[in-house]
Amino acid sequence: MIPFYVFAFIAVVASLLVIAQRNPIYSVLLLIASFGALSGLYVLLDAPFVAVIQIIVYAGAIMVLFLFVVMLLNAPHEETEYDEQTHPLLRRGPMRFGASLALALGVELCWALARGGESRAFAPGSVDAVAAIGRSLFTTYAFPFEVTSILILVAMLGAVVLARRGPFDSPLILSAPKDERLAQDRPFDSPLILSASKDERLAQDRPFDSPLILSASKDERLAQDRPIDRDGGAPALPGER
């Protein structure tokens, strides 16, 4: 019984901490910890196959992608005063949304528990269980299985659409005012953003600053990037011409 409580405690606490974190990276890691604890619970239920699949699919594959997305997309930080002073959990919008979700989950849990009944479990802990899972997945549950995969595809498309900022992003960037441009498109400097103040960040780190070059005056450009200059053999400084 003690292992059950240990795993259950880790799972619950880690899940709670997931939504209490400000740094999305920590949220992702805590979710992994929670999945690990769930996997431990599966082992206690004598279902090692499900436990390992939980680790491979959720903790391994899916969360690595989450981590990538969080690291690369660099989720914007809310900077209004209200957001700064109020903990994310205590804000109005998230409160209502979270409350309705929690309510739905609670109702579902009660319904599932009240329903009870015999669980049609596979013979635990044998390789036959793996074969049985596979067989029922591709015969009895073939339709739900395929529908789930389409659901995942839809979610992927949704993520791609959400992540893109408008259909033709790069031309827009060139015409936008300078500050916007700077704020918009800096894929690689996520760790810096977390530490430095905004101005410092802008000054510090623009690995892809070609848009800036395009918008600068011609002389500046020439000074910056002289190989383009085809006027003479030796690269000329702007003042010399």
Partner 1 sequence: MSPLLLAQVALTLFVFVMLLSSAAVMVYVERKVAALLQQRLGPYLVGPKGLLQPIADVVKLMFKEELRPRAADALLFTLAPIISATAAFAAFAVVPFGAETTFFGLLDERVRLQVADVNVAVLVIFAIASMSVYGIVLAGWSANSKYSLLGGLRSSAQMISYELSYGLALATVLLVGNSLSLTDLVNRQAGTWLGFIPRWFIFVQPLGFFIYMTAGIAETNRAPFDFPEAEQELVAGYHTEYSSMSFAMFFLAEYINMVTVSAVATDLFLGGWHGPLLPESLGWIWFLIKVAALLFFYVWMRWTLPRYRYDQLMAFGWKVLLPLAVINLLVTAAGVLYFGL
Taking the C-alpha atoms of residue 103 and residue 89, their distance in angstroms, rounded to an integer, is 16
Q: What is the nearest approach in angstroms of partner 1 to the Cβ of residue 236?
A: 33
Query: 129-168: which residues touch partner 1 (CB under 8 A)?
Result: 130
What phi-psi label fits residue 14: left (phi over 0), alpha (psi between -120 and 50 degrees) or beta?
alpha
Distance of CA 61 to the CA centre of its chain: 13
Segment near partner 1 (CB under 8 A), from 6-14, 61-69, 149-157, 232-240?
A: 61-69
> Is residue 31 a contact residue for partner 1 (CB under 8 A)?
no
Q: Determine which residue in the list 4, 145, 188, 208 makes contact with partner 1, applying CB under 8 A.
A: 188
DSSP 7-73: HHHHHHHHHHHHHH-SSHHHHHHHHHHHHHHHHHHHHHTT-HHHHHHIIIIIIIIIHHHHHHHHHHH
Q: Residue from 80, 139, 195, 197 that binds partner 1 (CB under 8 A)?
A: 195
Can residue 61 be called a binding residue for partner 1 (CB under 8 A)?
Answer: yes
Q: Which one of residues 16, 19, 56, 157 is an interface residue with partner 1 (CB under 8 A)?
A: 56
Of 3, 106, 125, 134, which one interacts with partner 1 (CB under 8 A)?
A: 125
Examine residue 48 and tell whether it contacts partner 1 (CB under 8 A).
Answer: yes
- Assess contact for 11 and 34: CB atoms under 8 A: yes
Distance from C-alpha of 169 to C-alpha of 179, rounded to nearest angstrom: 16
Q: Is 194 in the site for partner 1 (CB under 8 A)?
A: yes
The yes or no reply on residue 49 touching partner 1 (CB under 8 A) is yes
Contacting residues for 87 by C-beta, under 8 A, at least 6 apart:
none
Residue 8 binds partner 1, judged by CB under 8 A: no
Please pick, from the candidates 14, 30, 31, 32, the single residue that binds partner 1 as defined by CB under 8 A: 32
* Under 8 Å between Cβ of 102 and 214: no
Site for partner 1 in 68-87 (CB under 8 A): 68, 71-72
Q: Of 41, 16, 43, 39, which is closest to residue 27 (Cα–Cα)?
A: 16
- Total site size for partner 1, rule CB under 8 A: 27
Binding site for partner 1 (CB under 8 A): 25, 29, 32, 48-49, 52-53, 55-56, 59-61, 64, 67-68, 71-72, 125-127, 130, 188, 190-192, 194-195
